[in-house]
């Protein structure tokens, strides 16, 4: 049997305003996230998979407009394959029986505590919703998975970090169970924790904390032998670039430096955050609004973060702190200037100035 595994689409999510200051960009992104789900549905059709595994958090809010649900249901019901819909921590509203009856169709399966197993020809598909998880329940399913048939288990939660609010159990426990493939959801970064235990991650990133490659997992399971691979598919990536400025950079220099740091393709398609570092002489050269306006003509999305530090004017300092250790250090440096010497001089001066600030 052939399957496609995806999770964490968070349809209808309100994206954090920090990443989307622009309302239009935000709206467009919500639309793109929906489109990514439809592209996955298309992929399931084109690849002629037998099962589409949705490992939780397909939705985001506790509510979902009925019309959208119906549209989505129609898409899923039109698929030629079986659809397995696990209820993650974000789509708890699916626990509501009226939603379930709306979504359940002949090819759409929602797991419950009682209906935790679906039998396809040569495969058993098991699922435990986030809210229903317990190790005892897991062991119960594991006993039923001791069979000649192929076995798949869907789970949604963390299996690596005990601090997570939705921690389930550790990977070693999962590894000890007789499932041939464990399809995980919840962690957005895709990862094969073992050759047969994997987070698919989400197919489109949500913000700047998700800079990794996105896609879904496609696999086949024949006579309990698994062959699974990650398939990249995302439309846009989030990219964080660091640009180090130096004291003498003019406004035009800074614009050119930023442009030079980003590929043409990335400018047109990606969400780019530029973190400006280094020392600058004059804050006037770093008018972020003016910079952003100018760059926005070439970038699909750009945001700037100022992490520069003001340059220190050595001769002015020497005068202010004449006959002090600061002046002495500067004079020592000026006798034999070097790049390394300059760095340690700056460290020393900043430390001294901070001490003085605290004392005054």
Q: Which is nearer to Mn ion, 203 or 301 (CB)?
A: 203
Collapsed DSSP state (helix, strand, coil) of residue 336: coil
- Using the rule CB under 5 A, give the single segment among 54-62, 93-101, 230-238, 337-345 that binds Mn ion: 54-62
* Residues 291-330 as x/- pattern, contact with Mn ion by CB under 5 A: ----------------------------------------
* Least distance between Mn ion and beta carbon 200 (Å): 12
Q: Cβ closer to Mn ion: 186 or 239?
A: 186
Closer to Mn ion by Cβ: residue 162 or 358: 162
- Compute the Cα dihedral for 177, 182, 185, 186 and give only its sign: positive
120-159 binders of Mn ion (CB under 5 A)? none
Task: State phi, psi for 203 to the nearest 5 degrees.
Answer: -80, -20
Rounded to a whole number of angstroms, the minimum distance from the CB of residue 351 to Mn ion is 45
Shortest Cβ 32–Mn ion spacing (Å): 20
Q: How far is CA 341 from the centre of its chain?
A: 41
Among 12, 28, 34, 89, binds Mn ion (CB under 5 A): 89
Residues in Cβ contact with 33 at an 8 Å cutoff, skipping those fewer than 6 apart: 9, 10, 11, 13, 204, 206
Residue at shortest CB range from Mn ion: 186
Give me the sheet containing 2-6, strands edge to edge.
108-110, 82-85, 51-54, 2-6, 215-222, 225-232
Q: Closer to Mn ion by CB, 50 or 60: give it.
A: 60
Q: Which is nearer to Mn ion, 73 or 167 (CB)?
A: 167
Minimum distance between the CB of residue 79 and Mn ion, rounded to whole angstroms? Answer: 23
CB of 244 to Mn ion, least distance (A): 37
Nearer to Mn ion, 62 or 310 (CB): 62
- Does position 88 interact with Mn ion (CB under 5 A)? The reply is yes
- Taking the complex as a whole, how short is the minimal distance between the CB of residue 133 and Mn ion, in angstroms? 12
215: closest CA among 185, 189, 187, 181? 189
Task: In whole angstroms, give the CA distance from residue 281 to residue 279.
Answer: 7
Which bin fits 185, alpha (ψ -120 to 50), beta or left (φ > 0)? beta
Tokens of 258: 């930023």
The sign of the CA dihedral 327, 328, 331, 336 is negative
CA distances from 113 to 37, 98, 140, 146, 252 (A): 27, 17, 11, 19, 63
Comparing CB distances to Mn ion, the nearer of 15 and 240 is 15
Question: Which is nearest to 52 in space by CA: 35, 62, 64, 39?
Answer: 39
The count of chain residues that interact with Mn ion, using the rule CB under 5 A, is 4
The binding track of 56-85 with respect to Mn ion, each residue x by CB under 5 A or -, is: -x----------------------------
Residues 289, 137: Cα–Cα separation, whole Å: 56
Site for Mn ion in 166-205 (CB under 5 A): 186
The answer to the question of residue 10 lying near Mn ion (CB under 5 A) is no
Q: How far apart are CA 357 and CA 335, in angstroms?
A: 28
Phi, psi torsion values for 73, nearest 5 degrees: -60, -45
Helix (H), strand (E) at residue 73: helix 66-77
Whole-number minimum distance, CB 87 to Mn ion, in Å? 10
For residue 56, the minimal CB distance to Mn ion (Å) is 6
Nearer Cβ to Mn ion (202/308): 202
CB of 89 to Mn ion, least distance (A): 5
Residue 5 binding Mn ion, by CB under 5 A? no
Binding site for Mn ion (CB under 5 A): 57, 88-89, 186
């Amino acid at each position: 049997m052939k399957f496609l595994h995806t999770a964490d689409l968070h349809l209808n999510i309100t994206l954090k305003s920090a990443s989307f200051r622009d309302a239009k960009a935000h709206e467009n992104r919500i639309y793109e996230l929906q489109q990514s789900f439809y592209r996955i549905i298309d992929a399931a059709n084109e690849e002629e998979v037998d099962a589409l595994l949705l490992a939780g958090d397909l939705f985001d809010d506790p509510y979902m407009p009925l019309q959208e649900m119906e549209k989505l249901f129609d898409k899923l019901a039109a698929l030629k394959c079986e659809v397995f819909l696990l209820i993650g921590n974000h789509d708890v509203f699916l626990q509501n029986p009226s939603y379930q009856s709306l979504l359940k169709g002949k090819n759409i399966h929602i797991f419950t505590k009682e209906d935790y197993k679906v039998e396809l020809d040569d495969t058993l598909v098991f699922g435990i919703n986030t809210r229903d998880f317990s190790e005892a329940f897991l062991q119960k399913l594991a006993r039923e998975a001791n069979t000649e048939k192929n076995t798949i288990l869907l789970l949604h939660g963390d299996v690596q970090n005990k601090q997570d609010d939705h921690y389930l159990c550790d990977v070693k426990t999962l590894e000890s169970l007789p499932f041939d493939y464990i399809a995980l959801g919840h962690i957005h970064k895709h990862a094969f924790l073992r050759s047969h235990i994997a987070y698919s991650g989400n197919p489109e990133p949500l913000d700047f904390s998700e800079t990794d490659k996105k896609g879904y997992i496609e696999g086949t399971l024949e006579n309990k032998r698994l062959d699974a691979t990650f398939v990249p598919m995302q439309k846009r990536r989030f990219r964080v670039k660091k640009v180090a400025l130096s004291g003498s950079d003019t406004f035009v220099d800074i614009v050119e430096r930023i442009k030079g740091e980003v590929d043409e393709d990335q400018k047109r398609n990606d969400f780019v955050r530029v973190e400006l570092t280094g020392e600058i002489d004059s804050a006037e050269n770093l008018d972020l609004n003016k910079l952003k306006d100018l760059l926005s003509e070439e970038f699909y999305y750009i945001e700037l973060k100022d992490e520069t530090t003001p340059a220190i004017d050595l001769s002015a300092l020497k005068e202010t702190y004449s006959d002090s250790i600061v002046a002495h250090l500067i004079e020592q440096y000026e006798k034999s200037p070097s790049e390394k010497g300059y760095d340690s001089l700056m460290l020393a001066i900043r430390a001294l100035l901070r001490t003085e600030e605290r004392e005054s």
